[in-house]
Chain A
Amino acid sequence: MKPDTVVDFDVALIERARRGDAKAFERLYREHVGRVHGLCLRMTRNPDTAADCVQDAFIKAWKALPRFEARASFSTWLHRIAVNTVLEKRRGPSKAEVSVEDPGEYEEPTMVFDTPVEEEELEAAIESLPQGARDALVLCGVYGYEHQEAASMLGIAVGTCKAQLHRARGLLRERLERGVR
């Protein structure tokens, strides 16, 4: 699954916001806030921290708008800023956690269960994952980013991202007591 791509509606709003139109930026905010918040909430596991990250991310996005390239996806750009903001708030402890081996064969970022699972149970299982594994799973599994993009956002190697996803897959299998493909 690919992340959303930029639409013409956004392009016009981005252009207006770039010229200092706060109303246009508010419309962009309204359109994207749910997704950015979902991402921050899943990465931070704390509603207050997630809200702070969302606010910071949109303020940073406003200030960085002149540097946004219109050909890029606004959504991906925004997510990148949000991920950076979350990582900044954590102040680096995740770096020590990435010492997992690259499994190599796990190229597929999607995960399918052999029997359906309740959404709430799945969210709780994701929440219980170690930080590095959770980050990779959220970006690749939930938000559909390729390993390369997710690794770039997280500031880790592609191999590490794959390894973290592999780890997440194993832990979910254990915690949900289900087969995960």
Chain B
Amino acid sequence: MATKEVNPDIQRIDPATGEYRVIAPGQTFRGVTEKITRIVLTPHTPLGWFAIFGVGGAGATMLMVALVWLFLKGVGIWAISQPVAWGFAIINFVWWIGIGHAGTLISAILLLFKQGWRNSINRFAEAMTIFAVVCAAMFPLIHLGRPWLGYWVFPLPLTMQVWPQWRSPLMWDVFAVSTYATISVVFWYLGMIPDLATMRDRAQTKLSQYIYGMLAVGWRGSVRHWARYETASLLLAGLATPLVLSVHTVISFDFAVAVLPGWHTTIFPPYFVAGAIYSGFAMVLSLAIPLRKFYHLENLVTERHIDNCGKVMLATGFIVAYGYGMEAFMAWYSADHWEAFTFWNRAFGPMGWSYWVLITCNLAIPLTTLWSRRLRNNMLYMFILSIVVNTGMWFERFVIIVTSLTRDFLPSSWGTYYATRWDYMTYFGTVGLFIFLFLLFVRFLPMIPMSEIRTMLPGAKIKPKVAAEAGD
């Protein structure tokens, strides 16, 4: 019996602090700095980078072709018509912006909760957020039909003297998404300034010294500056937290405020936010697992990070499951004829297959297997699972938009929806654009926040005696 009482966690605990290890032992300030700056400052770009960059570039080119044709011909090249006027554009918009949410959750909410493990992954998770918002924000604009009039959504003093309608959730969306994009960029850039200063000081060529020097705005690490910087970071985290919750809430209002069966429900805001974080963490894993392997960052992005992301997915996955369950329950409990029909049609109607894809990818596979630590520590499994979950989350939006719109109150307005090749090209094109932008980020900016990693190293600990005297 005695042998069974040995704690299997003993290897994972740092003897110096008695806390769980987040990064591998034996790291130094200089070692970490060199490891991370070398990825960017080396003149040798790995061949694999070019290969994936080529794939992303091809996707981005395909997007450009699809957009040029769209601007020439109009939105008729897509499958949207009556009754499905939203189609792929809005599915992709909601999907992309949801993916972005995990980046803000990691950088803001986990900072407020003092989760030290976020430090290794927050920079590229924030980059993921920004690029996902870039992909997302494109869709409502190109869906406009006359995208050159997109500026009409802003309250501008135009000669027509026509002003926006403030009671519409679509108008709220404009402000939620634009604020989200701005604050994400500001938070990301502010967090990067000390690291850009490190890059400036370690750059060898004149050009990179100039560029990183300009970007670092003359940061020199004064402790007065650090004190203000820490305050500003904390405040931005505190502001980004209600922001990220509000963004997907407002997006869910686009649906919930409509009277359509299957949309008109109060569960949508929390269910959308949880789904967003669920898919976002899946995307973090899709990026983190290859990155740590190709760039040999296993000591900084450890199995513990992947494990924790898996746990967050498990928790948010169950909230999503609750959302699905509540939709089914309300369809029965409301005793509303149309509501019940919509639910039945979702699961067993002509588009029923998409509902079961969603149930399989979002609930059946992840929520049964993520309990196992062995599987959470299996990188290949987690990578595949992250793709599965993101597929499932895409189908969730497909189900919400398409099945509700194809079966309206009046059978005479029923229809169907088959996406055209331009829909698929635009969708996969934005995936390409995302990869393209992300690889540029990995090549030219420090993808792991060095200054935050330094605070976690043993050398950063100040002896309690010194700290106590300093408090006087």
Partners in one complex: no
A interface with B by C-beta (< 8 Å): none
